[in-house]
Amino acid sequence: MPGILAPSGVQVVEATRRVVHAPTCPDENAGGALAQGGHVAPTRRWAGGSATVDRMRAYIDESCREQLPGVFVLAAVVVPTPRADQVRAQVRGHAQASGARFHWHAEGSDRRVKFLEELAGFSLPAVVAVAAPIDPQRQERARRKCLEQLLWELVQRDVRDLVLESRQERRDRHDRAAILAGQKAGQVPADLRYAFEQPSREPLLWLPDVVASVVSAVRAGLPGLSLAALGPSVSLVEAGDAT
């Protein structure tokens, strides 16, 4: 893509690149609260470029395994805007009986299997950046390296909207700094939009939670999981050593 520079050291180790181009439709969060299955979603505070009607949106979450040598994973699942409401409604069906969100590390095997089956059926593109080995005391360094690679990969797929799981303002600030640095370096376009959201309010953030958790478990050598469980549209990118 002209004008966008690749970060140094990009190495794609597994890639099935199926980019979905979304047809024209309204931006689901451009104009205020959106009714979703009887719930009203709060207006999302966007930073960056202005809204357009034909954007795809990437939902981003992390997983970290601290046991040495350690691995840090940052996953983005890309949802075309026309499919967002339908996918969101189906994902919300995996909430706990109490209404609590689906969270991979808190779920039993049966619920995990059912969610993976649903996820694979969506056939949504996912991009996953992996940093290894890592220093468990410097997880922000690992996350930044992954975010830099992830941003570049998403830009190549014409993704300009990001929703990142909020880690509270203190740590969200680190992600903002990384995005701004990428824009200044010419690696991230100026029209990129991004926002931070809680997974309790945005079920689509449950998707990258599952993808990141599965990839980190596989990379850590844990038994019983394989990348095939995520479906055919997952691309892995190495972000390198983050010690």
- pLDDT tens profile 122-147: 999 999 999 999 999 999 999 999 99
Interaxial angle between packed helices 206-219 and 109-122, expressed in degrees from 0 to 180 and rounded to the nearest 10: 110
Domain ranges of the chain: 11-16+42-242
Q: Going by C-beta distance under 8 Å and a sequence separation of 6 or more, which residues neighbour residue 149?
A: 7, 10, 129, 237, 238, 239
- Name the CATH topology of 11-16+42-242: Nucleotidyltransferase; domain 5 (3.30.420)
Flag whether the pTM goes above 0.75. Answer: yes
**To the nearest whole percent, how much of the chain has pLDDT over 70?**
78
Q: Say which residue, 50 or 117, is predicted with more confidence.
A: 117
> Rounded to whole angstroms, how far apart are CA atoms 123 and 132?
27
What would the pLDDT profile of 174-195 be if each residue is shown by its tens digit?
999 999 999 999 989 999 999 9
pLDDT of residue 45: 62
Structure tokens at 239: 């972000």
**Are the beta carbons of 159 and 56 closer than 8 angstroms?**
yes
